[in-house]
Amino acid sequence: LNEAEEILDEDHYGLKKVKERIIQQLAVMALNKKQSGSILLFVGAPGTGKTSIGQSIARALHRKYVRISLGGIRDEAEIRGHRRTYIGAMPGRIMEGMKRSKAQNPVMVLDEVDKLAKDYGGDPASALLEVLDPEQNSTFHDNYLDIDYDLSHVMFIATANNLNTISQPLLDRMELIEVSGYIQEEKVEIAAKHLVPKEAEIHGLNKKDVKLPKKTIQAIIESYTRESGVRELDKKIAKLMRKLAFKKASDEVLPSQIKPEDLHDYLGPVEYTRDKYQGNAYAGVVTGLAWTAVGGEILFVETSLSKGKGGKLTLTGNLGDVMKESAMLALEYIHAHAALFGIAEDMFENWNVHIHVPEGAIPKDGPSAGITMVTSLVSAFTQRKVKSNLAMTGEITLRGKVLPVGGIREKILAAKRAGINEIILCKENQKDIDEI
């Protein structure tokens, strides 16, 4: 087990929960002497190392490694094999994999389970049910072999980017393990330990040719990438290596080390600017926190009032239905509790309200802007500015109850990057904080 742990740590930085679960599985197998129960399904954004973790597990177990890509497979016979009466009949991918591995107990990675397609040739996702059910797969029937084959010794690992497209019975067979994105500190370590040496070798450079201090790697991550995984980062490092390789091949003198200010020459102008906290100079502007597929973001909710009869509410900023409803809820709640906030009743009749969430071209939706909108509205109506360096996230009900939301880890990291020191959350999100 210690050796397995070392191998996993050597190949992957971070991913603590994932490694823990794998080591537990290995411990059970060590005691039980046979492949035990559950089939693991790694779910996460592209580039977070789901497929390569399967390779590490095979190495840790000293077993053969087989990878079967399921993306776009739409014929059931690809899994179960064709009957031998057909011309060009072949065994299914599973048996082909077993043949390639020349072993009865390989580690088999079923890549991209969420990208299986359906066709008149049957539903391959349904054919996978037999493969992935530990109760059934000891008698897996391949149409080409036409005999039952025992798959119970195989360690199956599945990967997916998105759970919505996986059928419920198939999901039921597997144990979900979230491979969440890496935080900036982890990415810096991954780049220093794995990506830079790998790319240097690919581009024919020695260790002494390439000196990338951690400050520079951090600058690449902040200014040139925006993602959960590290694939984009890998590409940027490769781009930098190509320029160094060109210099070396042209017998130019290589720089002793690449500083953050040199990146412009190697990678071009900055591609992304991090959202910075913009201060609290105006009433009605509040900092909210949002979860996106590439990590957390901070966003601003702005409210302005203009004279006008009837108290019209205008919403802009490419908001989805949930956020529009949050804004209506927020206004209704304040209207009902005007006395509580010391807002005069006639304010609502004589002023039109406009709520805007900047970067109007980017679609935004999600259930975590409720309290931000309430705070923004109250701030605009009372003309009191919001406390500086403060961000918030949480959904609201019509009674003014704040509900817990997800993506807390990413949101806290976004706030940290933007230089915010205080965050308001629902009390029920305490469990997420303890985990972090």
Q: What is the DSSP string of 196-238?
A: HHHHHHHTT--TTT----HHHHHHHHHHH---SSSHHHHHHHH
pLDDT, residue 236, reads 92
Residue 238 has pLDDT above 90, yes or no: yes
pTM of the model: 0.78
Residues 403 and 378: beta-carbon distance below 8 Å: no
Residue 435 has pLDDT above 80, yes or no: no
Which segment of 55-69, 299-313, 318-332, 357-371 scores lowest on mean pLDDT?
A: 357-371
Q: Give, in degrees to the nearest 5, the angle at Cα 88 between 82 and 89.
A: 20
> Which segments of 62-211 does DSSP mark as H helices, in order?
77-80, 93-101, 124-132, 168-173, 184-190, 196-202
pLDDT, residue 41, reads 92
pLDDT, residue 293, reads 66
Strand (E) or helix (H) holding 356: strand 351-356
Task: Find the distance separating the first CA and the last CA of the chain, reported in whole Å.
Answer: 26
Task: Kindly state the average pLDDT of the residues 182-196.
Answer: 88
Res. 317 pLDDT band, cuts 50 70 90: confident
- Which residues on neighbouring strands pair with residue 68, listed in sequence order? 110
Query: 19, 50, 236, 411: which is the annotated catalytic residue?
Result: 411
Strands 351-356 and 295-307: antiparallel
Residue 291 Ramachandran class (φ > 0 left, ψ -120 to 50 alpha, else beta): beta
Burial label, 248 (beta-carbon count in 10 A; 0-12, 13-18, 19+): middle
Residue 434 has pLDDT above 70, yes or no: yes
pLDDT exceeding 70 applies to what percent of the chain?
97
Residue 298 has pLDDT above 80, yes or no: yes
- Which residues on neighbouring strands pair with residue 39, listed in sequence order? 174
Residue 161 has pLDDT above 90, yes or no: no
Q: What is the DSSP string of 32-82?
A: HSS--SPEEEEE--TTSSHHHHHHHHHHHHT--EEEEE-TT---THHHH--
- Rounded alpha-carbon distances, angstroms, from residue 358 to 86, 166, 286, 298, 300: 60, 35, 11, 11, 6
Between CA 232 and CA 195 the distance in angstroms is 11
Q: Name the token pair of 192.
A: 């220093």
Residues 225 and 233: beta-carbon distance below 8 Å: yes
pLDDT digit string, tens, across residues 11-62: 888 888 888 888 888 888 888 766 655 788 998 888 888 888 889 989 988 8
Between CA 246 and CA 235 the distance in angstroms is 17
Nearest to 404 by CA among 414, 394, 412, 413: 394
Res. 66 pLDDT band, cuts 50 70 90: very high
pLDDT digit string, tens, across residues 261-284: 888 998 999 888 766 777 778 888
- What lies within 8 Å, CB to CB, of 263 at 6+ separation is 216, 219, 220, 223, 224, 240
Give the three-state DSSP class for 176: strand
Between CA 56 and CA 109 the distance in angstroms is 11
Read off φ and ψ for residue 48, nearest 5 degrees: -100, 5
Task: Kindly state the average pLDDT of the residues 198-214.
Answer: 88
Residues 139 and 148: beta-carbon distance below 8 Å: yes
Is 208 an active-site residue?
Answer: no
Res. 356 pLDDT band, cuts 50 70 90: very high
Between CA 293 and CA 45 the distance in angstroms is 7
Tell me the three-class secondary structure of 279-297, residue by residue: CCCCCCEEEEEEEECCEEE
Residue 367 has pLDDT above 90, yes or no: no
Residue 181 has pLDDT above 90, yes or no: no
pLDDT, residue 35, reads 60
pLDDT digit string, tens, across residues 109-154: 999 998 888 877 688 888 888 888 888 888 889 899 889 998 888 8
pLDDT, residue 275, reads 67
Q: Name the token pair of 123.
A: 């539903």
Is 239 an active-site residue?
Answer: no
Residue 407 has pLDDT above 70, yes or no: yes
Res. 422 pLDDT band, cuts 50 70 90: very high
Nearest to 61 by CA among 92, 27, 91, 94: 27
pLDDT, residue 371, reads 92
Query: 180, 326, 368, 376: which is the annotated catalytic residue?
Result: 368
Between CA 50 and CA 158 the distance in angstroms is 9
| Amino acid occupying residue 84 | R
Residue 296 has pLDDT above 90, yes or no: no
Task: Kindly state the average pLDDT of the residues 194-212.
Answer: 88
Nearest to 45 by CA among 160, 157, 156: 160
Residue 159 has pLDDT above 90, yes or no: yes
Between CA 46 and CA 413 the distance in angstroms is 20
Res. 353 pLDDT band, cuts 50 70 90: very high
- Which residues on neighbouring strands pair with residue 306, listed in sequence order? 352
Task: Kindly state the average pLDDT of the residues 411-433.
Answer: 86
Between CA 22 and CA 1 the distance in angstroms is 10
pLDDT digit string, tens, across residues 98-109: 999 999 889 999
Return the sign of the alpha-carbon dihedral for residues 220, 225, 230, 236. negative
pLDDT exceeding 90 applies to what percent of the chain?
25
Task: Kindly state the average pLDDT of the residues 324-350.
Answer: 88
For the chain, the average pLDDT equals 87
pLDDT, residue 173, reads 86
pLDDT, residue 157, reads 92
